[in-house]
């Protein structure tokens, strides 16, 4: 009987030790520390050259990708620990609420309406609505668009904004995607394409378009790009803000801008200060 009690006690101790080890292993994995084997899911766009683009070989490139990779590293994740998740504009808030991703870096403009549903770190880039035109175009300002063909994507308000504010007689053309608009600009089917200047610069920076287009530089709106996190996750938001400040201070932010937008001669704004929203 005595031997049986000792054996039972030893088994209990062993079970507790195994359980503690298992718990420690899981905690370490969730931290995403170097070599832990943990993963972090990050939302990006898959179809925006210069910002978030999935390449034919399965790799990813763009300014948003570079920002997200830098931020993830500061949070303790190596590049091979990042799982990229496509987050289309209409599903960004839901993706965060469901926990599909830890954070989103996807030309995500900070607005009062969105701040009711998610929290934002940043901003990390100040973009503006602009026009992309051919390098030899005679369009020098918005009023020159009167009577000419202006392209944007179906459902976007960008073209309507131009028509309402500066060129009421512009002929609107709506295509299914910006790549179609850019192809139309190249062929002469349209005279200008409008959306955020960062998006336009990304398309214009593609090898097949280098030197063919230029930005008009009209700055028709202010788009403060932020990094979305789940509502209430202030700990992650604060860590991301610290990472963004470091990215600016060590020169990595400037390098990412030149790398991804430089070929389009993109006149970017200086890196914004955390919490500085330009209306």
pLDDT in tens, 129-146: 999 999 999 998 888 999
One domain, residues 204 and 161: yes
pTM: 0.82
CA-to-CA distance for 270 and 268, rounded, in angstroms?
6
One domain, residues 18 and 65: no
Give the closest residue to 203 by CA, choosing from 129, 246, 266, 128: 266
* pLDDT over 80 (residue 172): yes
Write the CB contacts of 247 (distance below 8 Å, at least 6 apart in sequence).
67, 70, 71, 124, 253, 256
One domain, residues 135 and 180: yes
Q: Average pLDDT of the chain?
A: 88
One domain, residues 118 and 235: yes
Angle between helices 178-187 and 197-204 (to 10 degrees): 60
Q: Say what the pLDDT of residue 41 is.
A: 98
Q: Say what the pLDDT of residue 26 is.
A: 39
Show the domain range for 44.
Answer: 40-127+222-264
What is the pLDDT averaged over residues 149-162?
88
Q: Say what the pLDDT of residue 13 is.
A: 41
Minimum mean pLDDT among 126-130, 231-235, 265-269: which range?
265-269
One domain, residues 1 and 65: no
- Number of domains comprising the chain: 3
What is the pLDDT averaged over residues 212-235?
95
Minimum mean pLDDT among 23-32, 138-147, 152-161, 252-261: which range?
23-32
One domain, residues 173 and 251: no
Helical ranges in the chain per DSSP H: 2-31, 63-74, 92-98, 112-115, 158-165, 178-187, 197-204, 234-249, 252-261
How many C-beta neighbours within 10 Å does residue 217 have?
Answer: 14
Q: Say what the pLDDT of residue 4 is.
A: 44
* pLDDT over 80 (residue 9): no
One domain, residues 199 and 80: no
One domain, residues 237 and 167: no
Minimum mean pLDDT among 17-26, 117-126, 143-152, 156-165: which range?
17-26
CATH at 226: 3.40.190.10
What is the pLDDT averaged over residues 180-193?
96
Helices and strands (H, E) in the chain, number of each type: 9, 13
Which two three-digit tokens encode residue 272? 């914004």
One domain, residues 193 and 246: no
Q: Does 88 fall in a domain?
A: yes
């Amino acid at each position: 009987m005595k031997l049986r009690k000792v054996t039972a006690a030893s088994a209990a101790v062993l079970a507790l030790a195994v359980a503690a080890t298992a718990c420690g292993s899981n905690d370490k994995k969730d931290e995403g520390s170097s070599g832990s084997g943990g993963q972090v899911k990050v939302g990006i766009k898959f179809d925006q050259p210069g910002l978030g683009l999935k390449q034919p070989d399965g790799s990813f490139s763009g300014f948003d990708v570079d920002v997200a990779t830098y931020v993830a590293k500061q949070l303790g994740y190596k590049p091979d620990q990042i799982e990229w998740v496509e987050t289309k504009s209409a599903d960004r808030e839901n993706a965060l609420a469901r926990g599909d991703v830890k954070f989103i870096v996807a030309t995500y403009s900070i607005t009062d309406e969105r701040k009711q549903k998610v929290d934002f770190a940043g901003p990390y880039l100040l973009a503006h609505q602009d026009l992309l035109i051919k390098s030899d175009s005679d369009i020098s300002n918005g009023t020159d668009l009167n009577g000419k063909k202006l392209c944007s994507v179906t459902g976007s308000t960008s073209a309507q904004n131009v028509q309402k504010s500066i060129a009421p007689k512009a002929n609107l053309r709506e295509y299914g995607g910006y790549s179609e608009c850019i192809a139309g600009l190249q062929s002469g089917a349209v005279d200008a394409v409008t959306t955020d200047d960062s998006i336009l610069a990304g398309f214009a920076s593609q090898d097949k378009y280098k030197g063919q287009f230029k930005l008009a530089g009209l700055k028709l709106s202010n788009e403060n790009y932020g990094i979305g996190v789940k509502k209430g996750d202030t700990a992650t938001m604060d860590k991301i803000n610290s990472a963004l400040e470091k990215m600016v201070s060590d020169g990595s932010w400037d390098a990412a801008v030149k790398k991804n937008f430089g070929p389009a001669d993109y006149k970017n704004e200086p890196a914004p200060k955390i919490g500085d929203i330009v209306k």
